[in-house]
Structure 1
Amino acid sequence: MDSWSPVFADSLARLANADPLVLSAAGFGGLVLLFVLIITLRAGAKNRRVAAEASAQAAEMRGELSALLKTQAEMSGRMQSMAEIFGSRQSELNRHLSERLDGIGHRLNRSVGEAAQNTGENLRQLHERLAVLDRAQKNITELAGQVTTLSNILGNKQTRGAFGQARMEAIVADGLPKGAYRFQATLKSGARPDCLIFMPNGVPPLVVDAKFPLEGYNALKDAETAETRKAAQAQFRTDLLKHIRDIQERYLTPGETQDTAFMFVPSETVFAEIHERFEEVVQRAYRARVVIVSPSLLMLSIQVMQAVLRDARLREQAHVIQEEVMSLMEDLGRLDERVRKLATHFGQTSRDIEQILISSDKLQKRGARIEGLGFGEEAEEEKLAAGGERP
């Protein structure tokens, strides 16, 4: 408005020196010019005020956009830190899992290896025992063909007792491992059985008696008449019943020994003679829980006991393996539970990261929209500054 003052003053001076008609025309024109000038000045002031408001709004939007970009940068830094922490935790977890699985596999391989070694050792011992049994069977075959020599040996009572004891000890020692039997052991009553065979699981031992009376049998074999044969049979029957009663009374001790005992007959021929001609003696022995056994039957019984002992040892080993497997299953159960918990944590972390990414995408979209609005205001401000009109 200051630039218009000299022009206006000069115009008024000229109008003062003019004639009235001219002054009238000039006054009307001046009024029109003054009105146009006032309107122009008001429009300029309004445009400057609008431009100032638009500039202030643009500055405010640029500040908000800067703060939003700063927040977005901080969010990106935090997400990168979270990703690094998550990666380190996952690597540590994988390392712990690998170490634990390696330890479990090592223990399992060691247990399986020990079980395989024990099984191989048992099989080797079984083959050795079978070989011993084959040799013993050959010896029995050879001894069966020497009945005459055996009869001569059994003629002497002392020699006969030593022979029966030796045969019994040979069969027992060949069939059972050391520690599973004892010869000439002493019971609490003071009696000394020829052999005690120990049973597994704390069961009382089994008594084997080898002092078989053969005097009556020798007399029966040497009898030539019916009367002497009948007398020899009666004597042999009496000796057998007495020996059975002695075994029952001396060796069958409840809680200390088995309620059944073996009466060892060192000859297959004598054993066959007893079962063929003295059936009542055999039945009496059964009722007294005394089992009459020949060398073959004793060997078979020893084989059964050996199988029982081996089975007991295998059950002990199986119990150890079962305990190890149960421990392994417990470890695997705990590992599965922890892995499931870890998977749950991973799933929750993944869902949180997805939510964070969704929020970040929304922030980026909102920032893009705000940035677009800011560029439009700046373009309009530049246009107004250049003298253009707002559409």
Structure 2
Amino acid sequence: MNQIDTSFLNPYLIHLTPAIAVICTTAMLALVGLALMIFLIRRSSRLQAERQLEADRREAAAEARLSELLKAQAEMQGRLAAMSEVFGNRQAELNQAISQRLDGMTHRIGATITEQTKSTHENLRHLQERLAVIDAAQNNIQSLAKDVVGLQAILSNKQTRGAFGQSRMETIVADGLPMGAYSFQPTLSNGYRPDCTIRMPNDAPPLVVDAKFPLEAWNAIREAETPELKKTAGQQFRRDIEVHIRDIAEKYLVAGETQDMALLFVPSESIFAEIHENFEAVVQKAHRQRVVIVSPSLLMLSIQVIQAVLKDQRMREQAHLIQGEVIHLMEDLARLDERTRKLQAHFLAAQRDVDMILTSADKLNKRGTRIEAMEFETAGGGNVDDNDQAGKAVESRTGFLKLRVVDED
């Protein structure tokens, strides 16, 4: 802090009393403090005004910079809007073309699936009708059992019995399967000839059906009058049918040529029911040797199931064709996506070239404006070189665009 020189007051203060001297000194100190306070206040006001001016100057510069940025942003938004409109139109056309093609394929696939569904429902309806017929036939087993005596008289001759069983089996197979799906008495590679073979789906080996049945032993059981004779006839029937089952397993089950299971056809529902009721061990042994004993109703049901499987196989083949067409469609869509992306890359490259050409054109316009206003620089300036470089840039970029257009064509 600056000190005030009060030495010039000393001659006057000598003549004053000490009290007056003290008062004067105090007053002078107060005046000095007041002057110092006024000086500090003015200095603080001047500093605050300078800070306010600096803040105003910075705010004005920021506003000017912000206005420049907003202007540049507006120009950029205009260019982006133009490019977005161009790409939007191209994308809309592409989407429309893809939608039309997908609609056509969807319509064709839907029509094919509808036809196949209708055919499947029709086949299932026929199958249900056949199952209803089988149920009705099963309900008539009791009435058919009354005709066993007449059937036994017809089958008393072994040759007649074999012809009758073969005829019933052939009738059931021929009624249930289309031509070419079965074969009667074919010759296997081992020289044996089964009564019938049924073609299985998916190129699987055929299924063997045997129509022979040891009816003599069964008739002996029915004709036995005493329990001892019935027991002896039952043992003989068990041995005969077990031998027949073993012959079927050894002769007709050929690995890789036939199915690993065969059907033993019993031409009577009543005989089939009594075998399952009184000779359960024989049935289980036949199952272990992969031979299934079937009645006319069960054979008809098996034929219907095989027919349904064959039809399902044909439907699956058609489904594979549809799947193949869908795969081709997806491949076409992948190629279309790849070509679209390539076209988009060409568009982006062309846009960059256009931006560079616009920059060169702006420089040329500015240079033309200066020439029009007769604002030439000195000989050491770079105006002429800038014009030459701008012209060369425009010419090179224009030639590059022409070459790109020729390559794309």
TM-score, with normalisation over the residues of structure 1? 0.63
The amino acid that maps onto 2:179 is: K
Counterpart CA distance in 1 for 2:279 and 2:316 is 42
The amino acid that maps onto 2:152 is: L
Of structures 1 and 2, the larger Rg is shown by: 1
Could you say if the C-alpha distance between residues 116 and 168 of structure 1 is closer, same or farther in structure 2, counting changes exceeding 3 Å? same
Could you say if the C-alpha distance between residues 301 and 295 of structure 1 is closer, same or farther in structure 2, counting changes exceeding 3 Å? same
Match of 2:132 among 122, 134, 138: 134
CA-to-aligned-CA distance 1:224-256 (integer Å, 9 cap, x gap): 211221122122112212221221232122222
Kindly report which structure 2 residues correspond to 1:152-163, keeping only aligned pairs within 5 A, or say none. Answer: 152-157=150-155, 158-163=159-164
Between 1 and 2, higher relative CO (CA 8 Å, sep ≥ 6) is seen in 1
- How far does residue 292 in structure 1 lie from its aligned partner after superposition? 1.3
* 1:243 aligned onto 2:234: no
- How far does residue 265 in structure 1 lie from its aligned partner after superposition? 1.6
Could you say if the C-alpha distance between residues 290 and 163 of structure 1 is closer, same or farther in structure 2, counting changes exceeding 3 Å? same
Kindly report which structure 2 residues correspond to 1:298-337, keeping only aligned pairs within 5 A, or say none. Answer: 298-337=299-338
* 1:183 aligned onto 2:184: yes
Counterpart CA distance in 2 for 1:360 and 1:95 is 33
Counterpart CA distance in 1 for 2:331 and 2:371 is 59
- Give the secondary structure class of the aligned counterpart of 1:203: coil
Tell me which residue corresponds to 1:117: 115
Partners of 1:182 and 1:197 within 8 A in 2: yes
Partners of 1:129 and 1:175 within 8 A in 2: no
- Give the secondary structure class of the aligned counterpart of 2:204: coil
Kindly report which structure 2 residues correspond to 1:191-202, keeping only aligned pairs within 5 A, or say none. Answer: 191-202=192-203
- How far does residue 196 in structure 1 lie from its aligned partner after superposition? 0.7
Kindly report which structure 2 residues correspond to 1:1-391, keeping only aligned pairs within 5 A, or say none. Answer: 106=104, 109-142=107-140, 144-157=142-155, 158-373=159-374
- How far does residue 335 in structure 1 lie from its aligned partner after superposition? 0.8
Counterpart CA distance in 2 for 1:118 and 1:307 is 14
The amino acid that maps onto 1:179 is: G
- How far does residue 182 in structure 1 lie from its aligned partner after superposition? 1.9
Identify which range, 119-128 or 262-271, moves more after superposition: 119-128
Could you say if the C-alpha distance between residues 176 and 126 of structure 1 is closer, same or farther in structure 2, counting changes exceeding 3 Å? farther
- Give the secondary structure class of the aligned counterpart of 1:208: strand
Partners of 1:200 and 1:309 within 8 A in 2: yes
TM-score, with normalisation over the residues of structure 2? 0.60
CA-to-aligned-CA distance 1:57-109 (integer Å, 9 cap, x gap): xxxxxxxxxxxxxxxxxxxxxxxxxxxxxx9xx99x99999878766764564
- How far does residue 262 in structure 1 lie from its aligned partner after superposition? 0.7
Partners of 1:153 and 1:159 within 8 A in 2: no
Q: Which runs of 5+ in 2 are unaligned?
A: 1-85, 376-409
Counterpart CA distance in 2 for 1:257 and 1:220 is 34
Counterpart CA distance in 2 for 1:184 and 1:130 is 31
- Give the secondary structure class of the aligned counterpart of 1:207: strand
Counterpart CA distance in 1 for 2:227 and 2:359 is 119
CA-to-aligned-CA distance 1:185-233 (integer Å, 9 cap, x gap): 2323443322211112222111011122222222212322112211221
Provide the alpha-carbon RMSD of the alignment: 3.2
Equivalent pairs: percent with the same residue? 54
